[in-house]
Structure 1
Amino acid sequence: MAEQTFTFKVVPMEELHGAEICTWTYEPPYNIYGWLPWEQMKGLEVEFGDPAIRGQQYVSVLDDSGELCGFAQLFPIEGVTRLGIGMKPELCGRGRGPAFVAAIVQEALRRKPENEIDLEVLTWNTRAIRAYQKAGFTITDMYERQTPEGMKPFYCMVYQPDSDEDVNRPAQEQDTEDP
């Protein structure tokens, strides 16, 4: 059986996308990745509820039909682009993760090709870790960090393509697994 490929397009996040993302509900234990209601996000001007932050740091990830599949934050740190990644709950665990992550990596490289690309992931989130590894990320560190539920262990993962060829490999050619 041929491996299915997925293609994603990364675009600036629109307010409509932010509102939709705030309605997503994840099954436990992934429910920690939910957001406040959209009107509250906008009122408090937090994360993509703040038009300036949304415009500078957030992107939406669309499928071939233009449907919203997820989002990413490309957070700028000196010499590093730190990714925050979220996929639509009903798409998780369906083999789209590496292609999804690869599309986001390509956008990060387009914006700041000289930057290292990294991300943080809770150590228990093996589904996301597998997808990140298949997209070229390697675990480089483990540490505890404050979360709304207290201190939790995280991995830092750094994008380390095998070769220059992998950097330019189209997202739809990536292996399949989900964040």
Structure 2
Amino acid sequence: MSYQIKVMTQKQAEDIAFNWRYEGEYSFYDMVADEEDLSEFVDPESRESSTYAVMSNKDLIGFFSVNKVSEHTFDIGLGMRPDLTGNGYGLNFLNKGIKFVIKEFKAERITLSVSTFNQRAIKLYKKVGFKEVNTFMQKTNGDCFEFLKMDYDCRKGV
């Protein structure tokens, strides 16, 4: 699959927020599961130009959000269209996103946080080269959940 990454449009944000539904425990990642996250995602001013749509041809297949932490460190959030998850597309998708962040933002480090129950994602992040930093508790989706902070050294290459 080849990917193109561009600033997300309002229509794309609304499609993800209101139409993408994950199965089972992964419904945790449905945008409607947390009102605050949903509000930020669909509000163009909150989203600004830090959220990117990932396209394959004309199909919206995922997104990346990129937030500056320090001069050369960026925190990412990402999601893949529910019908594509668990089918072996994650490695290429994640590598494309990492390369994009390195090229566009001159990143030297990339961080991300993932719910500790999501072992499928954690396994992928480790395979790409992310290292575990620490765990922390975060309020979201009406409760408090454990998350894992991970770090990627861009200077080691993708």
TM exceeding 0.5: yes
2:45 alignment counterpart: 52
Q: Does 1:12 align with 2:7?
A: yes
> Are the aligned partners of 2:131 and 2:152 in contact in 1 as well (CA < 8 Å)?
yes
What 5-or-longer segments of structure 2 have no aligned partner?
none
Q: Trace 1:74-89 onto structure 2 (pairs within 5 A).
A: 74-79=66-71, 80-89=73-82
Q: Secondary structure at the match of 2:49?
A: helix
**Residue in structure 1 matched with residue 27 of structure 2 by the alignment:** 31
- Which is richer in strand? 2
User: In structure 2, what is the Cα distance between the partners aligned to 1:140 and 1:131?
Assistant: 16
Q: In terms of Rg, which structure is larger?
A: 1
- Stretches of structure 1 that go unaligned for 5 or more consecutive residues are 1-5, 168-179
Distance 2:126 2:154 in 1: 10
Supply the AA of the counterpart residue of 2:67: F
- Say if 1:114 and 1:89 are closer, same or farther in 2 by CA, change over 3 A: closer
Deviation for aligned residue 1:152: 1.4
Residue type of the partner of 1:24? W
Confirm or deny: 8 A CA contact 1:136 1:161 kept in the other structure: no
Q: Determine which of 112, 122, 128 is the counterpart of 2:121.
A: 128
Query: Residue 115 of structure 1: CA displacement?
Result: 4.5
Match of 1:176 in 2: none
The Cα RMSD (Å) is 2.4
Q: Which has the higher contact order (CA 8 A, sep 6+)?
A: 1
Q: Distance in 1 between matches of 2:83 and 2:105?
A: 31
Task: Name the amino acid aligned to 2:20.
Answer: W
What is the identity, as a one-letter code, of the residue corresponding to 1:84? G
% same residue = 27
Number of aligned pairs?
Answer: 155
Tell me how far apart the structure 2 counterparts of residues 132 and 71 of structure 1 sit (CA, whole Å).
16
Deviation at 1:150, TM superposition (A): 2.1
- What is the 5 A alignment of 1:95-134? 95-134=88-127
